[in-house]
């Protein structure tokens, strides 16, 4: 049950209060707004469906986001996450992931190689160690010690794209994103990008998870926003949660997901809060980020969702009830 006093005390947002009043007038319990799951990017309807299997049975948001994120991680066609993810400039597939629950428990792995499901390793870091983050070889050792199998994550098609890129070896995040977009549309697939997933379960608890192979052709060892708690993902069960996608360096500079959650704490709706973060980023970086994309999605404890991006083209997938997938295009700034 949502603690209504707490809800009102934090005065989440005018829209949230209106929703609450309307629900109370109509005699609809707040639970009507949940469970729900939202993810960055339209193709992640498949990931939402996997998460929904848990949520629909009254399961925990934490289990739902882990299971959901594992879908693109295992999909070789998804070139931005897990198996089949595009490699760094040295041809190494290095993965970043994190997970956070309603109690502020969190775990993260950065620059992890050879493991198909980094989100599961991140969860184990959270549950089995006194730490929050494990990186590189240490993360791999930890995964292997916990029964994960070492695998080759570089698929033939990702290797081919990398070899093609090597001919120019030009790296610029904006350019790389454009290049990847062209590649994807040439292959007829809309299969980007980092997955950030947020779920609100029937008990009123929120959890989130994020997983990516990061920017294609990055320097070896580069880590983006996605596995950084507060940048790529943040959850505060008194307020809501947010997650990000796009050029991670820009998200890190403004502690993106945390900024969104704090804006919700002080009264913004999820969409307004995402917009505030994008505007802050643009104010800081105008002139340098026009060729890049950054997007946020958010949910508050009343079950309202929203998103906003820097540029046109950011989509997100929502599931609010059995079998009903909703894909939305985020509003954008420039």
Residues serving a catalytic function are 194
Q: Is 236 helix (H, G, I), strand (E, B) or coil?
A: strand
Using the minimum distance from each CB to ligand ASP, give the nearer residue, 19 or 210. 210
Q: Are 83 and 75 in contact (CB under 8 A)?
A: yes
Q: At how many degrees (to 10) do helices 256-265 and 270-285 cross?
A: 130
- Phi and psi of 289, rounded to 5°? -120, 10
Please report, for residues 43, 174, 294, the alpha-carbon distance to residue 332 in angstroms, rounded to integers and kept in the order given. Answer: 20, 17, 10
Instruction: Look at residue 156 and give its three-state secondary structure.
Output: helix
Member of 108, 212, 243, 305 binding ligand ASP (CB under 6 A):
212
Structure-block tokens of residue 49 = 């469906």
Could you say whether residue 248 binds ligand ASP (CB under 6 A)? Answer: yes
Nearer of residues 222 and 271 to ligand ASP, judged by Cβ: 222
Question: Can you tell me the distance from the alpha carbon of 161 to that of 122, in angstroms, rounded to the nearest whole number?
Answer: 28
Q: Which is nearer to ligand ASP, 54 or 195 (CB)?
A: 195
75-94 mask for ligand ASP (x: CB under 6 A)?
-----x--------------
* Rounded distance between C-alpha atoms, residue 228 and residue 333, angstroms: 24
Which residue number, 8 or 219, has a Cβ lying nearer to ligand ASP?
219
Distances (CA, A) of 256 to 28, 30, 252, 276, 304: 34, 28, 6, 10, 19
Residue 39 CB, nearest distance to ligand ASP (Å)?
A: 12
State in angstroms the smallest separation of the CB of 212 from ligand ASP: 5
Distance between CA atoms of residues 12 and 4, nearest Å: 11
Nearer to ligand ASP, 107 or 214 (CB): 214
> Of the two residues 245 and 309, which places its CB atom closer to ligand ASP in the complex?
245
Beta bridge partners of 246: 294
- Quick one: which of 193, 201, 262, 272 contacts ligand ASP (CB under 6 A)? 193
Q: Please report how close the Cβ of residue 126 comes to ligand ASP at its closest, in angstroms.
A: 20
Stretch that binds ligand ASP, among 15-23, 103-111, 224-232, 321-329 (CB under 6 A): 224-232
Only one of the segments 5-13, 18-26, 50-58, 243-251 lies at the binding site for ligand ASP (rule: CB under 6 A); that segment is 243-251
Q: C-beta of 246: minimal distance to ligand ASP in Å?
A: 5
- Shortest spacing between CB 50 and ligand ASP, in angstroms: 20
To ligand ASP, the closest distance from the beta carbon of 216 in angstroms equals 9
Distance in angstroms (rounded) separating the CA atoms of residues 102 and 61: 9
The residue from 39, 48, 79, 194 that contacts ligand ASP (CB under 6 A) is: 194
Residue 245 binds ligand ASP, judged by CB under 6 A: yes
E strands, the chain, are 36-40, 95-100, 106-112, 133-135, 195-200, 206-212, 233-236, 240-246, 294-300, 305-309, 315-321, 324-329, 331-332
Q: Mark the segment that binds ligand ASP (CB under 6 A) among 7-15, 119-127, 221-229, 326-334.
A: 221-229
Judged by CB under 6 A, the residue of 207, 226, 237, 305 near ligand ASP is 226
Using CB under 6 A, list all residues that contact ligand ASP.
80, 193-194, 212, 214-215, 224-226, 245-248
């Amino acid at each position: 049950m949502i603690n209504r006093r707490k809800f009102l005390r934090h005065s989440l947002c005018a829209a949230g209060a209106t929703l609450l009043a309307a629900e109370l007038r109509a005699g609809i319990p707040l639970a009507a707004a949940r469970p729900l799951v939202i993810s960055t990017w339209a193709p992640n309807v498949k990931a939402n469906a996997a998460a929904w299997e848990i949520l629909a049975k009254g399961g925990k948001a934490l289990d739902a986001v882990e299971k959901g994120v594992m879908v693109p991680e295992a999909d070789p066609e998804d070139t931005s996450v897990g198996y089949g993810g595009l490699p760094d400039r040295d041809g190494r597939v290095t993965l970043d992931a994190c997970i956070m629950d309603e109690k502020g428990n969190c775990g993260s792995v950065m620059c992890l190689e050879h493991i198909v499901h980094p989100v599961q390793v991140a969860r184990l870091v959270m549950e089995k160690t006194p730490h929050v983050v494990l990186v590189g070889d240490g993360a791999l050792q930890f995964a292997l010690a916990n029964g994960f199998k070492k695998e080759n994550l570089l698929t033939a098609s990702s290797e081919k794209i990398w070899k093609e890129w090597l001919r120019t070896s030009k790296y610029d995040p904006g350019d790389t994103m454009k290049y990847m977009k062209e590649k994807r549309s040439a292959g007829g697939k809309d299969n980007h990008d980092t997955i950030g997933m947020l779920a609100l379960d029937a008990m009123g608890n929120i959890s989130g998870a994020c997983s990516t192979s990061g920017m294609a052709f990055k320097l070896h060892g580069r880590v983006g926003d996605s596995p950084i708690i507060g940048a790529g993902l943040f959850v505060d069960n008194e307020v809501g949660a947010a997650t990000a996608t796009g050029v991670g360096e820009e998200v890190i500079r403004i502690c993106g997901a945390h900024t969104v959650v704090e804006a919700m704490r002080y009264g913004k709706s999820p969409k307004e809060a995402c917009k505030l973060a994008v505007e802050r980023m643009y104010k800081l970086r105008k002139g340098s980020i026009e060729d890049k994309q950054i997007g946020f999605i958010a949910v508050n404890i009343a079950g309202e969702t929203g998103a906003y991006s820097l540029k046109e083209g950011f989509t997100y997938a929502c599931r609010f009830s059995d079998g009903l997938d909703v894909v939305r295009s985020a509003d954008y700034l420039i």
